[in-house]
Amino acid sequence: MSQLIFFKKLRSSNLFILLIIVFLSCALLIVINFFTIKILSASRAYVNGESHYSKAQKDAVRHLIIYIYTQDKREWKLYKEEIKVPQGDGIARAGLLNHAADTVIRNGFLAGRNKKEDLDDVIWMFKNFKNVSFMAKAIKEWEQGDIYINQLSMIGNDANRKFKTSKFDSETKQKMLLEISILSNKLTINERNFSNTLGEGTHTIKDLLIYINIFFILIIISSVCYYYSIMIKRLIASKTEIEIKNENLIMLNGELDNFVYSVSHDLRSPITSMKGLIQLAKLEDDLEQISYYLKLMSKSLNRQDQFISDIIDYSKNKRMQILLRSVSLNKLIDDAIKQHNYNKNADKIIITKDLSIDEIQSDSLRLKIILNNLLSNAIKYVDENKKEMKISIRTYNSGVFHKIEVIDNGIGIQEEYKDHIFDMFFVINSNKGSGLGLYIVKETLDKLNGSIVVFSESNVGSKFTVTIPNLYLYGN
């Protein structure tokens, strides 16, 4: 009773943890979306500000050129108005870098024709992202642009001064116009670089925030699904508990067959053949026949277990990244042998090792999958009619390759099957495998940029040779 209470408390604590995870994930999702909106808003404001900067600079150049040609005071006045826009942005930038007063920074941005409602986001993004690579690069472009603007302002002031002193000859005018044209071109490139850099950076941040959003949404969905699965399991457990109690009451007044019949209705076996065998076993009185059915059930379960194991290996190979590290082939082979110690005929097979190499750099999980499947095949397809059943495992180097050989004196492979043994779900004997083992070996070796070849003769035996490069060039 105390154990039951303990497990109930444990389940309740797990549910509480799930609720905390959902709550925290929702809170973080709200915060992340808030900052996503803020960053996108700030980016939009910067792009809008750059367009004002660029337009004002080009208008200033146009008015200055007209002024130099015409000496029209109205053009000089218009030039001064336009040049104040990029200069205002420059004052704001310098203020942000030098920790100037907030009013100085805001007045600079307002002079740059930025919207008042955008200033908080613009200043926030500058302060918090100025050391991030894309923002630092954009600020550098901005700073270079301000240098060009100052040079343009100096040229304008010099032109105005020369007009006032009547020292503006044709040669000086042409030289000045050339300088203005060069500066204008530099500013165009500079402004384009600023926009592109800021755009790429904000796209990167946006993508990252989208991935984070998806991650937390998946956590929430998974937690909710897990919560409902726990609740469903509780309902099923309660239902099962009630059913078991009812069955126990029936057992007091019923025969053993009735008990088996009742229990069988509570099982939900996914294997149709198992259901049929259970029904046959319940109707059988002959103990030998019942034993035969049980053996068929065991074989069915073993095949299903092997199939699930193969699917898991296939999934691991497909989804997991290559992880290179030092691997002991000797240890992996010993582990594979131990894993198959209880297979049929395993205790009768003489297994020998001839290892010229042991420590290699490779993926231990995938090598384990390869060795387990090859050894399993060699054991399953032994020739029970032979006096001695043998399996030999060899490792050696061949140029830039590692070689692993698994050799047996089993029943071998008939010639017409050799081209298909690495195909998915191809089986020679459906009672001995799922048809996935050698397919998984081939897929796993593809991941390692390796290969496998087989030499086999019917009733003589088989030799599987695995080749793994000791320098990996990953193409997938």
pLDDT in tens, 309-336: 655 655 665 666 777 888 898 988 888 8
Arithmetic mean of pLDDT, 276-305: 70
Residues 185, 77 share a domain? yes
Radius of gyration of the chain (CA): 39
CA 258 to chain CA centroid, Å, is 53
Residues 278, 343 share a domain? no
pLDDT at residue 393, as a whole number: 92
In 271-388, where do the E strands start and end?
A: 325-328, 349-355, 359-362
Count of structural domains within the chain: 3
Task: Output the six-digit token pair for 378.
Answer: 């060699």
What pLDDT digit, counting tens, does each position of 180-239 carry? 888 888 888 888 888 888 778 777 777 777 788 788 788 778 777 777 777 787 778 777
Q: Which of 302, 366, 285, 286 is nearest to 332 (CA)?
A: 366
Phi, psi dihedrals of residue 9, rounded to the nearest 5°: -65, -40
pLDDT at residue 255, as a whole number: 37
Among candidate residues 195, 223, 251, the one where a domain is terminated: 223
- Comparing 54-68, 217-231, 260-274, 327-341, which segment has the lowest mean pLDDT? 260-274
Q: Is the dihedral angle over the CA atoms 433, 439, 442, 445 positive or is it negative?
A: negative
Residues 98, 199 share a domain? yes
Residues 355, 309 share a domain? no
Task: Output the six-digit token pair for 308.
Answer: 């699930």
pLDDT of 380 higher than 70: yes
Among candidate residues 164, 195, 223, the one where a domain is terminated: 223
Q: Is the dihedral angle over the CA atoms 240, 282, 286, 292 positive or is it negative?
A: negative
Task: Please indicate whether residue 208 or residue 405 has the higher confidence score (pLDDT).
Answer: 405
Question: Is position 262 within any domain?
Answer: no
CA distance 146 to 158: 18
pLDDT at residue 466, as a whole number: 93
Residues 450, 334 share a domain? yes
What pLDDT digit, counting tens, does each position of 155-183 carry? 888 888 888 776 667 787 888 888 888 88
**Residue for token digits 């090859």?**
374
CB atoms within 10 A of CB 291: 12
Residues 383, 296 share a domain? no
Q: Say if CB 73 and CB 63 are below 8 A apart.
A: no
Domain containing 405: what range?
A: 320-469
Residues 89, 176 share a domain? yes
Residues 336, 299 share a domain? no
Question: Is position 5 within any domain?
Answer: no
Q: Which of 452, 454, 445 is nearest to 472 (CA)?
A: 445
Residues 154, 85 share a domain? yes
Residues 359, 303 share a domain? no
Residues 302, 212 share a domain? no
DSSP codes of every residue in 103-156? HHHHHHHHHTT--GGGHHHHHHHHHHHTTSHHHHHHHHHHHHHHHHHHHHHHHH
Residues 297, 169 share a domain? no
Question: Is position 252 within any domain?
Answer: no
* Contacts with 282 (C-beta within 8 Å, 6 or more apart), sequence order: 257, 260, 261, 264
Question: Is position 235 within any domain?
Answer: no
Percentage above 70 pLDDT, the chain: 82
Task: Please indicate whether residue 433 or residue 19 has the higher confidence score (pLDDT).
Answer: 19
Nearest 10 degrees: Cα torsion 356, 359, 365, 371: 10
pTM above 0.85, yes or no: no
CA distance 5 to 2: 5
The amino acid that residue 174 corresponds to is Q
